[in-house]
Amino acid sequence: MSDLSSLSDRVAACARRMERADDPETPLARLYALVAVRLLRYAETITRHRDDAEDAVQAAMLRVAARPRQLARADEPFAWLMRVLRNEALMIVRRRGTRKIVPLEPGLPQETAVDPRHQLDADEIRWNVRQAILELPEEQKDVVVLKMWEQMTFAAIAVVLDIPADTAASRYRYALQKLSRQLSELAPLTRQRDAVQAQSARQKQSPPAEAVPFLPARNPRNNR
């Protein structure tokens, strides 16, 4: 059984407990603990605002608490829950209108004395990849996020986005082609950085030149 299938089974189990329990708060809390990180991560990619993402998660959990049977009976329980979350996040974005978007991550520091292109490191590359994904067209971005970050199948993604699985697969393929073109610009910069670092390492490892002993000037009188 895959991790996603196991997660869906646990989500459904929590929903069934909510149906049967006199006090559904305990199974709801268990459900929240199980999926909150994933829900918040996905909501952030939609709202681009931490507070709005948290509001979307809370709204989705309240909707599930009101109708746990729908979640318990869903063919893809976790995907169904993500679909509820997506709808709540999109409603928040529409209500927000033109309100300023707060960046989810701080800007990367840059050395003013050094060409910033030489400062690329693993964290910065990951940040650039993340930004490239978030700047994809919405329909492609959703598929990439759900496939790459949440490890969902195209069948599950189809449930979240309410599209055919074949459409999800084609959007994913087009998105990867676009990402490949965008991120290819980072490759020469990374190679340039690696070359600079390798040259610096070689210079540090090279033994210092052997010192030439000081010889006093010869006195012409000694030659007589």
Identify the domain containing residue 80 by its residue range.
3-96
> What percentage of the chain has pLDDT greater than the value 90?
54
Residue 135 covered by a domain: yes
- CATH classification at residue 13: 1.10.1740
- Within a domain: 221: no
Separation of alpha carbons 37 and 25, rounded Å: 19
Could you tell me the pLDDT band of residue 199, with boundaries at 50, 70 and 90?
low
> Greater confidence, 128 or 118?
128
Q: Are 142 and 191 in the same domain?
A: yes
Length of the chain: 224
Mean pLDDT of all residues in 81-97: 94
Q: What is the structure's pLDDT at 170?
A: 97
Q: What pLDDT shows up at residue 23?
A: 75
Query: How big is the CA angle at 144 (ends 168 and 117), to the nearest 5 degrees?
Result: 150
Does residue 175 surpass a pLDDT of 80? yes
What's the pLDDT at 208?
54
Sequence-distant (6+) residues with CB within 8 A of 147 are 154, 157, 172
Residue 109 counted as domain residue: no
Same domain, 74 and 142: no
Residues 71 and 120 grouped into a single domain: no
Residues 6+ apart with CB under 8 A from 46: 53, 56, 86, 89, 90, 93, 142
- Flag the least confident range among 11-25, 26-40, 64-78, 140-154: 11-25
In a domain, 144, yes or no: yes
Please report the pLDDT score of residue 126 as a whole number.
76
pTM, entire model = 0.71
Q: Are 74 and 146 members of one domain?
A: no
What b/e sequence results for 12-28 when a residue is b if at least 16 CB atoms lie within 10 Å of its CB, and e otherwise?
Answer: bbbbbbbeeeeebeebb
Q: What pLDDT does residue 111 have?
A: 39
Question: Tens of pLDDT along 103-114?
Answer: 444 333 333 343
